[in-house]
Amino acid sequence: MSRFHGYRTCSICSEACTPGNFLDHEGKRYCTACWIAKENPDYENIEEIREGNRADAKKWKRQKYSRNEGPLPVGPQSIRKD
């Protein structure tokens, strides 16, 4: 299972949410850009925030590990040599 699994998507724009870039309110998930647009529609840098969220989502999606992409770590090794 990838590390990105479980952060879901924004209820408004369907963009992937990453840690620190979303807000849950009344059972809905908002990305930071959609929340700012909802609360303060006159804010100037909403598109920059959206681009930042997309870049973060691409970074997080690349950090997943699966058996298809290569061997998984085997974990800690025993120090006993019997």
Q: Is the pTM of this model over 0.75?
A: no
Domain assignment present for residue 20? The answer is yes
pLDDT at 51 > cutoff 90 = yes
For 51, the domain range is 1-56
Whole-number Å distance between alpha carbons of 38 and 32: 10
Q: Which residue has the tokens 């006159």?
A: 42
pLDDT at residue number 15: 87
Please report, in angstroms and rounded to a whole number, the separation of the first and last CA atoms in the chain: 35
**Which has more confidence, 71 or 14?**
14
Q: What CATH number does the domain containing 41 carry?
A: 2.10.110
Domain assignment present for residue 48? The answer is yes
Q: Which residues pair with 31 in a beta bridge?
A: 22
